[in-house]
A and B are shown apart, each in its own frame.
Chain A
Amino acid sequence: MSTLERVQAALAGREFTSSVSREGTLVLEVEPAAVWETVRRLRDMAGFDTNTFVTAIDRFPAEPRFELVWQFLSSAHADRVRVRARIDGTNPHVRTIIDLFPGTAFSERECWDMFGIRFDGHAGLKRLLMPQAYEHFPLRKDFPHQGIEPDRLYREWDRARRERPVNRDLPHTSEKH
């Protein structure tokens, strides 16, 4: 039973288009709203028990702008399947799958950090690599590679540090002690 037959059996009655990537992996194109149910069926009925990664591709300036990619591995059948969905660039968001695969929490967080794609239902969606107060999403195609004011956060920290009031009295020399 080939990978495609197993996936077709699991996704019977659901809309998807399938293709084969250059290196021979089965790729499924689905609607963003159908991702969660597709992944659930792949996990429960087709034996894909491991999530390899969650990532995104910025197709700027094409619309819909972002292409989200989930890849799953079946350790029993030793094959992989890739799920793709195109989402809009103005308010990019998609339902999280951490209730199906808890290990995707970090991947989704990185995806938020680098592309600014929100994963609805992800409780800890905060910056992973960039500073918490960083405002931009570095892997977007319209982000300049030298950054937008890369020194801004350091400059703010430096100014606050210099403006902080200083107590020159050592504890044992002040009159209170």
Chain B
Amino acid sequence: MGSLIEVEQQPDQQGFLWTRLDELVNWGRKNSLWPMPLGLSCCGIELMAMIGPKFDLARFGAEAARFSPRQADLMIVAGTLTWKMAEAARTIYDQMPDPKWVIAMGVCSSSGGMYDSYSVVQGIDMILPVDVYVPGCPPRPDAVIDAILKLQKKIERERPFAELFSGDNFDEGKGSERFVRAPNHGVPTTRSHELLEPEAKVPSEPA
């Protein structure tokens, strides 16, 4: 921002920006996160307060809460995720377009919390890849805003074009295909590999 320059009259002084394409993309992504609120219990109330005028998430560009996963890129799992709800949560996550991030809001979604129980997922990282965990029961809206700021820092460190244009499977025509996924074949999480496919981690016998 600054004083406006009439570029028509001074073509030799046209402003330009010198940056890396990765940084430009990350700058756009981190300042326009569109959250998909998955309010499962009392944390959802704090989530609403966070988006509302008092805490005003719009200051950080993430106030456009979308209730369709197709229009969102940040999933905020706010509250207790039960195993019965886990299939729905995973389906919603898979329906979100890339790139996408997940915030586990509150202890219930971070670790199961006080529900050391047969019906509750003991941490949503059993089924989803979590970027930021927020402790608290429920956390204050400030804490979740802090998590979003931390997520913005994390997005700054990403290398979107390095992922697209390099790697073992890189092809001149297709790129790395790291973001090309068939429907219903979502991203596996680290913990879901350990937990859900026990046969996959059996080491092969040395010859």
Contact = CB atoms under 8 A, between A and B. Distances in A.
Nearest to A144: B118
Nearest to A161: B184
Would you list the 10 A-B pairs with minimal beta carbon distance, nearest first?
A: A147-B118, A166-B182, A154-B86, A150-B118, A155-B196, A161-B184, A157-B87, A150-B83, A154-B83, A158-B196
Contacts of B84: 130-131
Interface of B: 83-84, 86-87, 90, 116-119, 121, 126-127, 182-185, 192, 195-197
Nearest to B192: A158
A176 interface: no
Contacts of B121: 151
A151 B195 contact: yes
A164 B184 contact: yes
Contacts of B87: 154, 157
Contacts of B182: 166, 168
Contacts of B126: 151
A146 B118 CA distance: 4
Contact of B118 (A145, A159, A166): A145
Given A166-B183, A166-B184, A143 B83 contact: no
Contacts of B185: 161-162, 166
Contact of A151 (B116, B184, B196): B196
Nearest to A155: B196
B196 A146 contact: no
B137 to A, nearest CB: 20
A130 B127 CA distance: 19
Contacts of A145: 116-118
Interface string A154-177: 110111011010101000000000
Nearest to A157: B87
Interface in A47-69: none
A161 B87 CA distance: 10
A138 interface: yes
Nearest to A148: B118
Given A150-B119, A166-B182, A166-B184, 6 more contacts: A131-B84, A147-B118, A154-B83, A154-B90, A159-B196, A159-B197
A143 B84 CA distance: 18
A153 interface: yes
A155 B116 CA distance: 19
23 contacts: A131-B83, A131-B84, A136-B118, A138-B118, A138-B119, A145-B118, A146-B117, A147-B118, A151-B195, A153-B83, A154-B83, A154-B86, A154-B127, A154-B196, A157-B87, A159-B196, A159-B197, A161-B184, A162-B184, A162-B185, A166-B182, A166-B183, A168-B182
A126 B86 CA distance: 21
A166 B181 CA distance: 11
Nearest to B120: A150
Contacts of B184: 161-162, 164, 166
A168 B195 CA distance: 29
